[in-house]
A and B are shown apart, each in its own frame.
Chain A
């Protein structure tokens, strides 16, 4: 099995530790992982702003970088959803189709493909799990509170394997954090208010860390936490799942 590691641009530049943890975790689980050095971005920032027609270059580049792998894995539900839903190519239609089918967000790859049942990680803290919308409602990584259906959660299933980790319950388990790509600046007032409310839910329930399968939501909440001088930190779920036993 060959896995191509797809690291979204802002993780590459701002949150290398999330990417390193993803790589190490996959390697620890015996997966052969490569990071194609020519990758840049999935094109989502343009597409969600209404400029999907400008993403041809990104699409072609993505296909060139990743088409050869058995699986493509990324620590970002949102970017994965964009590839799954919107990647297309006039010249390489078949390859685009195949890429869309084999791209996975990290936690769904761990639960659905690797079928991970135990981890060696230990993380002795109270953790709030933020359900990022694109991963949850788009990739169906966990059940949604709007639906009348049995509950499940792939990220929680994995966090429950981490020794000494205590998950806190939230009042609104799957409310959006308000990041939303360019929404966060175009609709600054609402975005910030959503972020403050989301952070408050975690703080009110005693979380010491906020985690998610999407770094962009965490970047947003971190921006708010730091402005509030809070001691609470954000960590990508890969960093917790890969936390060394101490």
Chain B
């Protein structure tokens, strides 16, 4: 776990102390981005699909009340027990109470970012329940006692040798073994035993269809299905924004999701859960945890359109060079940086600034969330709400004063002097952050303005 109160810049600084590792991390994720590009380019209608998906999600957000009610009622008719949780604490309590009622103290879980957001594992652990994450990547970070660093590729920050070490320690693989096939096979044996012996399974939800009351879980390893179909109790947890209106809308998202996420044409399994298996209990928890608040923020509500593909992380030049843990929140990267301040503006005041606003995230987003524009807008909100560094505020005010008064600006000095002293990125002393690894521009003989006055005769 990430300890202390370090902000993104400080954590990124630590990550960058091993440059070769940064290169490896960057290249690994760029490879995924390139696969995504290739997959997107196989469909001439790609941009139309994004627009369609975006509009469907707009409709969902504008009619969420009715869709939720419709979904709930259909799910109940299908035999699913529906719960509502206002926040993470209530979500966790619901899970625990279901387990307690069945006297279950060991369970399996398939990757669900919502349960990460709610810190369910820690809560259950404190209450004497053992949770085994069954997604291979999730299991790896669980063994390492770390949070996932990426929503789709949770252990992307780990090299195969490090995974080999972990498996040697926990699963008894030979020391020094790092062959992915061998490690995967070992994990498979280890996880099968858990699937076969645990009586309860938790899964996430990718899409919940209002029209039919069914929910769809997309995985590559089939672990959500293994858990759910082998257990007596299946608990599915979903944010209230995961609703889509109709089954007919689903294909648009299935066509976009895996291509955006990993460049696959579709996830290996896209399982529709509608009714419990005979003799099985199926629970579904609808979680708010700040979502209704975000829905009320006009500038930020469309962050709720996110389908958790992770494409914005793979393309983000900052994420690739700072690692998911530098975002110190369950959902890292650009999308995390616009979701997290809604939950706790003070704690996550640094995240909207962890971006160059290059805009690549917005372009890869399959539901066309204007991520970089929201990063800009969050910056304004965070400063107005008083979470900016006071020193920065004073500097900005001084700058504003000079730049609003041409006479003062001109007389602030000869060429370069004012900019050297005042531009936040070019403070003229060798201790500043620009100069540590970069040279200053050489000040010219004269400014353009001076040259213009001498040379230009219009």
Contacts and interface: CB of A to CB of B under 8 A. Distances in A.
Interface of A: 7, 9-17, 19-20, 23, 32-35, 37-41, 43, 45-58, 60-61, 133-134, 137-138, 144-149, 172, 174-176, 178-195, 197, 219-220, 222-224, 226-227
A111 to B, nearest CB: 21
B440 A223 contact: yes
Interface secondary structure of B, over-half rule? helix
A44 to B, nearest CB: 10
Contacts of A61: 403-404, 406
B419 interface: yes
Given A20-B451, A40-B403, A187-B9, A147 B379 contact: no
Nearest to B23: A197
A215 B404 CA distance: 22
A37 B449 contact: yes
A193 B19 CA distance: 8
Interface centre among B15, B362, B383, B396 (most CB of A within 10 A): B396
Interface secondary structure of A, over-half rule? helix
Interface of B: 8-9, 12-13, 15-16, 19, 22, 26, 30, 37, 40-41, 43-44, 46-47, 315, 317-318, 321-322, 353-360, 362-364, 376, 379-380, 382-384, 388, 392-393, 396-397, 399-406, 409, 415-416, 418-419, 423-426, 432-434, 436-441, 443-444, 446-453, 456, 458
Given A19-B448, A147-B363, A49 B9 contact: no
Given A12-B447, A14-B443, A226-B438, 10 more contacts: A16-B446, A16-B448, A49-B383, A148-B43, A182-B353, A188-B437, A190-B12, A190-B16, A219-B441, A227-B438
A220 to B, nearest CB: 7
A94 B447 CA distance: 33
Contacts of A224: 437-439
B404 A57 contact: yes
Contacts of B362: 137
Contacts of B453: 37
B353 A40 contact: no
A185 B426 CA distance: 9
Which 10 A/B pairs are nearest by Cβ-Cβ distance? Answer: A57-B404, A180-B356, A223-B438, A50-B383, A146-B363, A50-B379, A137-B359, A133-B358, A176-B358, A226-B439
Nearest to B326: A190
A183 B353 CA distance: 7
B16 to A, nearest CB: 4
Contacts of B379: 48-50
Contacts of A15: 441, 444
Nearest to B41: A148
Given A147-B47, A189-B13, A49 B404 contact: no
Given A20-B451, A133-B358, A53 B384 contact: yes
20 contacts: A7-B448, A10-B419, A13-B416, A13-B443, A16-B448, A34-B458, A37-B453, A45-B423, A49-B424, A50-B353, A53-B380, A61-B404, A61-B406, A133-B357, A146-B360, A147-B363, A181-B424, A187-B322, A197-B321, A222-B441
